[in-house]
Structure 1
Amino acid sequence: MIRRALLALAVAAGLAAPAPATAQEQCRLALLLGLDVSASVDAEEYAQQIQGLAAALIDPNVVEAALSGNGPVALSIYEWSGRFQQDILVDWTMIRSEADLTTVAERVLRATRAHEDFPTALGYALGFAASHFAEAPPCLFQTLDISGDGQNNDGFPPEAAYAHFPLAGVTVNGLAIGGASREIEQYYLDEVIQGPGAFVEFARSHDEFAEAMRRKLERELRVVILGQLDRD
């Protein structure tokens, strides 16, 4: 009887023991943010994007969403414009604490714009994202958060990127910024986003970028949808 009791206690202790560190540390989401720095974005608008993103990253609601899930989030940020003008601002960084988000926000604020006179090669920006996801830590889900104020006007379109790059398992959300291009929100809805639950946040101008980015990040970090749907 005593041996049975000890065995029962040992089993109970094993069931109550914390999961192995590898299981606890499983990354739940690789989130890649793409910022438009094409010629349609002037210096003031670029500053609004950089400052707005930094502010969104340390917003209490975003911080809470990032840290409340089961497992950390891997975050990376890049700028895009022309066919070969994509630059990493923040490489893949595991977010485990508010301090990690603050560090990323500080790195964003120190960013120096690499390009400012190239067209809008949105298809190439998506292709670049596919290659960068290949370098991400292993995570349960991958989401691309791409923002822009113009339609593709250089190189292959988004449709071709989806046909030729390994993006089938990536959810792509958009932040469409009005002002430089007419009907930009509908363009992102029709041509850019893909995947289960994909959505577009709309900012009527760069003045609204910070708030739109905050809403977008909070939504992406809080919601994980199981399964994948094919792109139409």
Structure 2
Amino acid sequence: MILPSPVASRLRRRSLLGAALAAPLLLTTRARASEQEPVDVELVLAVDVSRSVDQEEQELQFAGYAAAFRDPKLIEGIAGGPLGQIGVTMFTWSDWHIQEMVVPWTKIDGAAAGERVAATIDAAPRRAWLYTSISGAMDYAARLFGQRYEGTRKVVDISGDGVNNSGRPLADARADALEKGIVLNGLAVLDRTPQPWSAGLPPLDDYYRTEVIGGPGAFLMVAEGFDAFETAVKRKIIREIAAAPPPGPLVERAFA
């Protein structure tokens, strides 16, 4: 059917107007994409601060992460990548709605940058909350990517000492993250003095292996007690930032 010329003219004007309005948005989107600095890996560190992690154990966690970014082996690992730099951010988590940024997105391209991240972790407040929402941590972490850096890999490193007991089903959050191409690695801390509420729950390392980790090359690091946390963190991050992660065991264990 041939439209009368006035109708066709109005449709053409609307089409041109729509294109004119869309152009700035497209340019803005492209500009934002071009502003993202390329890195070898975008690494999100998610740290459990629920009630099962006491003050001493929380301090061991923070000290472990700070020590990892001061480790010359980790800095050498970063330098060995194609670009020689990674993007890192770190937050603490507990209840489904409680996530607190500790280290905003930061580029690490050498020892000086690693020291700045370590110093930021040292100075961060230590706060504990109530529940354990791994699903909330996954959802929050997934929203952090693409803000400053563009990595060839997107990795979330979730450390914790308990099972999901707050927020939406863990399986749903995990599936959404994997659909976005995010690799989920785990660091399960086996508490040598289990709490009363842990009775009847599955072994934490089995739980993290089957319910938490996922994606190409995903793996689980198990810290045999909080005293082993620093060793576990160092080994884990070095493996995560490898340019071509070597095939390794699905589950590794670290001892104090």
Which band: TM-score by shorter chain? 0.7 to 0.9
8 Å contact 2:174–2:212 — kept in the other structure?
no
**Which residues in structure 2 correspond to 1:67-216 (within 5 Å)?**
67-71=79-83, 72-114=85-127, 116-164=128-176, 167-179=179-191, 180=194, 183-216=203-236
SS of aligned partner of 2:90: strand
Match of residue 218, structure 1, among 238, 242, 256:
238
- Aligned equivalents of 1:38, 1:205: Cα separation in 2: 16
Per-residue deviation at 1:99? Answer: 0.4
Look up the equivalent residue of 2:218 and give its one-letter code. A
The farther-off stretch of 166-175 and 83-92 is 166-175
8 Å contact 2:69–2:115 — kept in the other structure?
yes
Look up the equivalent residue of 1:32 and give its one-letter code. V
Matching of residue 50 in structure 1 with residue 70 in structure 2: no
Larger Rg: 2
Per-residue deviation at 1:168? Answer: 3.1
Q: Deviations over 1:111-170 (max 9, x none)?
A: 1024x1310011011000111124241221100111000000112232111344575301
Look up the equivalent residue of 2:45 and give its one-letter code. L
- Matched with 1:39 is 51
- Aligned equivalents of 2:44, 2:152: Cα separation in 1: 14
Superposition RMSD in Å: 1.9
- Aligned equivalents of 2:179, 2:119: Cα separation in 1: 30
Give me the identity figure in percent. Answer: 36
Q: Give the TM-score taking structure 1 as reference length.
A: 0.82
5+ unaligned residues in a row in structure 1: which ranges? 1-21, 226-232
8 Å contact 1:174–1:201 — kept in the other structure?
yes
- Aligned equivalents of 1:129, 1:199: Cα separation in 2: 18
Q: Deviations over 1:16-72 (max 9, x none)?
A: xxxxxx9xx731110110100001000000000001111111112111111211111
Q: Give the TM-score taking structure 2 as reference length.
A: 0.74
Shift in CA distance, 56/167, structure 1 to aligned 2, threshold 3 Å: farther
Aligned structure 1 segments of 4 or more residues deviating by more than 4 angstroms? 164-167
Aligned pair count reads 202
